[in-house]
Each structure stands twice: as structure tokens, then as C-alpha cells.
Amino acid sequence: MISAGLVLMLACGCAGRTESNTASQTITAVPVSPREKEETAVLMTKYGTLTSLAGTIGKAVGEGKWEEVSSLFSAAGKKHHSAKDLKNAFEESGAGSVSFLDGYPVSASGLSGGYALFEGEDGIYEAVFAVDENYALTDLQFARRNTGAEPESSDLWEETSISAGNAPKVQGILTLPKETEDAPVAVLLPEEMDDAMNESGSNTDFRKDLAHGLAENGIASVRFDMRCHEDPLLLSVFGWDFEKMIGQDFASIVHSLENYPVNASKILYIGHGAGGALGYAAVYHHFELDGGLVLLNSPYTEDGAHLFQRGAWLEEEAAKEALKAIGEEGDPDQLVYGYPLSWWEKWQSLGALNYTRHVSIPILILQAEEDGAVYFKKDYEDWKSQKGSNVTMKSYPNIGHDLKTKEGVFDDSVAKDIAAWQRGENINSKTAASGGKR
């Protein structure tokens, strides 16, 4: 699907009045340079070719025509992708008899390829392919796509399924409080790039529990599968691309909220762990997120490279080596502790301290005092260095990184405080609903 930003719209000519025998105004077109016309035509041709190729692959795989699939590779590629090799790879994915559903192109950020989706007896399977400049296949892999969680409901809230991003879309859930009309809405981000919509890190129900707690206190929310969760082949075929992995899906969610029964003029970003620290860049680049920024158990780092290093549980030497390579303008494809330098550069650009002085919306920084992943005595104290008049901070005794008590129960006092803070209440007053420290 061609981006709307690439469509050239017609506009009415509104020049000043002149003497003319023409009774009506002339409709004129927005000026388009020859280069823009050429680039648009090339892009449309590329999308059309990739879409057609996805359909060809999908039909051939669905009918078991493996020789036909193998013929789509370059001469060199056929040596490692014979009909037998492809058939074995397909069977190893767990797929049996399948029917072709649809094909989708991928052409962005230097990526060229696409998807063919199939319906199998036990779920949806995918064939993900990459091509060279001549549209010959360079890679083709098969896997079962992970399915999304099911919506739930209670006396206080109800949930519906939503989707986001470019096709094939990722799945999400919208949680709506039943007793609050025109509720503010939060976008819930996890701490890891492959978390399912209910998860964040090691807590498989973190975002679900938080969504329900927020709804019970009058705040709607959306949570969605990270693309690396639904699409297990994304990294192996298309590599480490931040926009493909999260940026496009996040933007799609934010821009679609006006279509749901929520107050899209009050959108909050709520992120856990490293996903919280990324919120500074998110609200800076998305002006729609003016309802507030909430960081839950987020590490404090001086730069984005260290943020990724801590989020990925790498030793500090990894961030130091990455920063050195960035400073030397190294090869973007070179690996630093297993990750391409381009990935480190992207995280470096998203480091929270690049944006703290530019973000003036209300900010809430919350920290569990028994957190073993983010260090209360250091990280929380360091975040105080960013505490301007728009920043509120609070810590909670007796709960850990996953917001659970020692008994393993999700502590909903955090959700209560977020809702009270969003309403403009002082959550650090003695009469606040939950305990905690400034």
C-alpha cells in the first residue's frame, strides 16, 4: 500500500481576481517535479512487482510446487535453495496442508521483499522473502506466526481487538472503562522488543494487569504485540531495523486513536523498563502524546547506547565499544557485541537525555524499591537530576521490577497513582491513595 504522504493531491487555484471571459475558476494541480514523478512511478512499480512476487510464492507453496519456488532464486541462490531444501524447510516449520491467504510487499528503509501468509490446521504460517535488485529471491524462510491474546471483560471494563502497522498487521487490544465516557487513553510499551501484548519482560501479564488497573480508575489503554513476537522471521530476513520492529506500529496506534471511543486529545505514553526511557523521544516526535509521559522502573543512562546495553543485559563494555565505533563513524553493518552498529546508532539517537530539556508535558517517574533489574538507590536518585517543575516522582516499598508483591500479586497502587496524577492530584500527599516515597 502506497503511503498517503506520496499521493499528490489536487488543489483549487485561488489567485487574486483578474479580468477574464472565463465564468468559472480553473482547477490546477500542485506542481510536481520530474524527479518526484519518476520516484513515485518507481516506488509504485516496485510495490507492484513485490506484491505480484508474494502472490506467486504463496500460490506455488500452497500447491506444493517447489521447483517453481526454487526457480525464483538467482542462479547462485538455487544452489542452496533447491526444491528439496525448500520443501524440508517448510515441513520443519510445522506446516502441513495450507491454503494461501494473501501476499504483502516490503519496501522501506533499504529493505526489499515481502510476505505470503497461509492458513494451516493449527494457525497462520508465513513465508518471508528478500530479493536483490533484479527481484530474484535471496532468502525465503517459513514459520508459524504467533497469535494475539484474547480480549477479556469485567463489570468495570471491556476489551476489543485492534490491529496496527503495515500489513501483515500486528494485533492489539483496546481496554475501555465502562463507567468513564471520553476517557484519556494510554499506550502501553514493554521493556523488550519481542514481548507479546500482555507481557513486559519476565512478567507475562504485566501490560494486561496494568491495563485493567488503569481502566478501573478511568483510563483507557491500548497494548499490542511487538512485531518480533508475531513475526518470528523479521530479524533473520530483514535485520535490525527500529522502524520496522516498533516505530511504524507505534505511530499507527497513536494516529488511529481518534477512531476509537476515547479522548484522543489526552494520550499518555506509559513505558516499562527501557521502554519507559524511550518515551522521551516518542513524545518529542509525536506531538499527539500530550497527555503525559510515565516511566515505570526505567534505567537512567547518560546516553542511548548505554540504555540499550542495560535493556539487553549486556556488559558495560558493549556500550563503550559501540560509542567508540559511533565516534569513529564505523561501518553500519559491523557487529558490536552481536548487534550491527546501525542499531546502536539508532538507540544512541533515542537516548532520553537528548530530549529531556525539550519535553514540557507532565512526566511521572515511578520506581519499585525492591527492583533487582533497575537499581533503586542509583537509578531513582539519578532521575532526580531531571526533576523539573513538570516532573513528579514516587517510589514503592515491597514490590519488584514486575510490580508484584513478594507474594506474587500485581500491586494496583501504581495504576491508582497514575490515574490520580493524570487528574492533577498530588500523589505524594499524606492523603494519597497508596503509600510510597518522594
Residues 262-286 have pLDDT tens digits of 999 999 999 999 999 999 999 999 9
Provide the residue ranges of all domains of the chain, joining segments of one domain with +.
37-144, 157-301+351-422
Burial 41-80 (b: 16+ CB within 10 A, else e): eeeeeebebbbebbbebbebbbeeebeebbebbeeebbee
Say how far apart CA 418 and CA 412 lie, in whole Å. Answer: 10
Whether the CB-CB separation of 20 and 5 falls below 8 Å is answered with: no
| pLDDT for 343 beyond 90 | yes
Q: Whole-number mean pLDDT of the chain?
A: 89
Q: What's the pLDDT at 2?
A: 32
Cross-strand partners of 144: 125
pLDDT, tens digit, 9 for 90 and up, residues 172-226: 999 999 999 999 999 999 999 999 999 999 999 999 999 999 999 999 999 999 9
Identify the band that residue 107 occupies on the pLDDT scale cut at 50, 70 and 90: confident
Q: Which residues contact 314 (CB under 8 A, 6 or more apart)?
A: 308, 337
pLDDT score of 430: 65
* 157-301+351-422 homologous superfamily: Alpha/Beta hydrolase fold, catalytic domain (3.40.50.1820)
CA distance 352 to 159: 32
- What would the CATH number be for the domain defined by 37-144? 3.10.450.50
What's the pLDDT at 320? 98
30 vs 293: CA distance, rounded Å: 39
In the predicted model, what is the mean pLDDT of residues 425-431? 84
pLDDT the model gives residue 111: 83
Taking 50 as the threshold, does the pLDDT of residue 7 lie above it?
no
Q: Is the pLDDT of residue 37 over 60?
A: no
335-336 vs 339-340, strand pairing mode = antiparallel
pTM score = 0.87
32-36 average pLDDT score: 57
* DSSP secondary structure of 90-151: HHHTT--S-EEEEEEEEEETTEEEEEEEEEETTEEEEEEEEE-TTS-EEEEEEEEPPPPPPP
Query: What is the pLDDT at residue 215?
Result: 98
| Tens digits of residue pLDDT in 44-92 | 678 899 999 999 999 999 999 999 999 999 888 888 899 999 999 999 9
User: 1: buried, middle or exposed (CB in 10 Å: 19+, 13-18, 0-12)?
Assistant: exposed
Whose cell is 514503592? That residue is 396
Listed in sequence order, the residues at least 6 apart from 125 whose beta carbon sits closer than 8 Å to its beta carbon are 93, 94, 95, 98, 117, 118, 119, 142, 143, 144, 145
